[in-house]
């Protein structure tokens, strides 16, 4: 199964498509060829395709989280040739969570891929037993990113020792 929630087109006409897939994903355009990009097993993984203006494959890459579905939600291209992709993943309840509340929480991820499709970094936001869901992403020419989403409680946005909470805007 494959679904495609986000598409972006660069000024040069190249198209970037991010989607989720389960099973094996074949991105080789050669007839009767089966060169799988990745195997996802029973879980949904994220993939990113870059196509030139003629529709020919430039690259394909994939990402996953161990044991959980990874569902892409948005894509933004920056002026430095990087593709930035947000995704959400339902996690199993955190250790110490209320055993009477077996509902998993949803975490947010931000992946950055360079112009060749290699992963530059991954950011992960987990608000313990609460949901963090990315909804929209924008990038500017300098590579600055703006991420919008939903958090069901206060959320610490930095990854350092300081705490910078956003509770409502």
Per-residue pLDDT of the chain (169 residues; tens, 9 = 90+): 455 679 999 999 999 999 887 777 777 666 665 556 666 566 777 889 999 999 888 888 888 766 677 788 899 999 999 999 998 887 654 444 455 555 567 778 889 999 999 999 888 777 666 677 788 899 999 999 888 887 777 666 666 665 555 544 4
The reported pTM is 0.78
Residue 101 in domain: yes
- Which structural domain, as residue segments, surrounds residue 149? 2-24+37-166
- Is 69 inside any structural domain? yes
- Whole-number Cα distances in Å, 84 to 35, 36, 38, 87: 25, 23, 20, 10
In a domain, 84, yes or no: yes
Q: Give the CA angle between residues 163, 154, 146 to the nearest 5°.
A: 75
Residue 134 lies in a domain: yes
Spatial separation of the C-alpha atoms in residues 42 and 6, rounded to whole Å: 22
**Quick one: pLDDT at residue 146?**
87
Residue 144 belongs to a domain: yes
What's the pLDDT score for residue 35? 58
Instruction: Answer yes or no: is 31 within a domain.
Output: no
- 6 found inside a domain: yes
Give the pLDDT of residue 81: 92
Closest among 73, 133, 124 to 104, alpha carbons compared: 133
pLDDT of res. 28:
65
* Number of domains the chain is built from: 1
User: What is the domain-level CATH number for residue 139?
Assistant: 2.120.10.10
d(CA 119, CA 73): 17
**pLDDT value at position 151?**
74
> Contact, 21 vs 58, CB < 8 A?
no
Would residue 30 count as lying in a domain? no
């Amino acid at each position: 199964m494959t679904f495609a929630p986000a598409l972006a087109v660069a000024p040069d006409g190249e198209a970037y498509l991010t989607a989720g897939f389960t099973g094996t994903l074949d991105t080789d355009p050669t007839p009767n060829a089966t060169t799988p990009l990745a195997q996802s097993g029973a879980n949904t993984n994220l993939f990113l395709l870059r196509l030139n203006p003629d529709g020919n494959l430039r690259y394909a890459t994939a990402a996953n989280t161990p044991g959980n579905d990874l569902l892409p939600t948005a894509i933004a291209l920056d002026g430095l040739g990087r593709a930035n992709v947000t995704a959400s993943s339902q996690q199993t309840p955190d250790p110490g969570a209320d055993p009477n509340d077996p509902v998993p929480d949803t975490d947010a991820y931000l992946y950055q891929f360079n112009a060749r499709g290699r992963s530059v970094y991954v950011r992960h936001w987990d608000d313990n037993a609460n949901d963090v869901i990315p909804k929209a992403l924008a990038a500017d020419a300098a590579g600055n990113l703006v991420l919008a989403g939903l958090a069901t409680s206060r959320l610490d946005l930095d990854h350092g020792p300081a705490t910078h909470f956003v509770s409502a805007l």
